[in-house]
Structure 1
Amino acid sequence: MPVRPALPADAAELAEIHVRTWQAAYAGLIPQDYLNSLEPAQREPGWRRWLSELRPPHAILVWAPSDPAGTASPAGSGLAGFITVAASRDPEPAARGIGEVYAIYVRDAHWGSGAGRELMAAGLRSLAASGFTEATLWVLASNVRARRFYEAAGWVPDGAAKVDSSRGFPLEEIRYRRSGFAAHGAVDADLLG
């Protein structure tokens, strides 16, 4: 499997994936001038810090296409995407003990390749290994493509919604939830395609 833990040497490439995927996936969904203003160099210091401070249950996993021997490519050699998971950031008491998929991004050239499914499966395995049996994620309500992906992977909207205005414009988000993925420490592969 070409999924491996992210390394500090991946910071620049993670920043590139993060920015370029936002620009591709959110075109038409959030203001274009904001998307145009995003630069990987602005995000790289944050990625370096996150990677150096990473502690369980927080995990950042990358999809690194396999070399001919079937092993994941080393740092700095062409990552296709990433997932980051940890304990839920939601403030309500009911969120305690629940994991969260903070982010999952795959370069648009790899959409439909299975990279997203592999990353999601690896992220859920990481959450299960940390003892979580339930997880949530937040998605733009208008991001139909992402919502289809999550629903195909067994996620369901749980009725929670919020508006994030931290970027100077409102982003309406809805929360998805998934449980049962940690039964016997495994992820139900049938649900992940």
Structure 2
Amino acid sequence: MEKTESAVRSRLLEAGKEEFRDKGFLKASLRAICKKADVTTGALYFFFESKAALFEKIVEETVGEMEQIAGKLTDSQNEEQTISEEYDQLFMEFVWENRDIARILMEGAEGTRYENFWEDTCTKMEQLLQENFRKKCGKEADNDLVHILIGMKMQGYRELLKGNYSREKLLELSRMLKRCSDQSIQTVAEEIKKK
């Protein structure tokens, strides 16, 4: 019985992930999830009290790991003032391995407690970049400019996640995106120092 329950729960989680990835939380159908998982809606409610509970179970582990990575990113920036290419590659490998969840958080979380995840991530990155400018230049950059720089980088990540790339292609494009972003940030830092 335990193996059967575990198998049913796994099928529900996988079917839910596909449905949320393809339609987002608000448009996702519990009936469609149950049909894909080949179970009744009663079986779904045996494991999850609501669509929101299913959604949260699907994304919570990845969100927790992403928050740990962000914490390490903050620590590494505080120590080195730059994000190493090796660290960036490790992060992108994590994102590639969890790209369905990342896409759900990016475009399909409206109506859940994670609906601001993408915007909150952008805000944190803006804060890190401003801190980087304060350390390197002794003052902050224009907040609007920082917002635009992070927006450009995050749009690049969005495009990477939406594409159907192999791991190698995604990592190569990510490296190029990082180099472009780093060059832009370096140029801004040089301008700040001149002022």
**Which TM class, normalised by the smaller chain length?**
under 0.3
TM-score by length of 1: 0.27
- The structure whose Rg is larger is 2
Higher strand share: 1
TM-score by length of 2: 0.26
Which one has more relative contact order, counting CA pairs under 8 Å at least 6 apart?
2
Higher helix share: 2
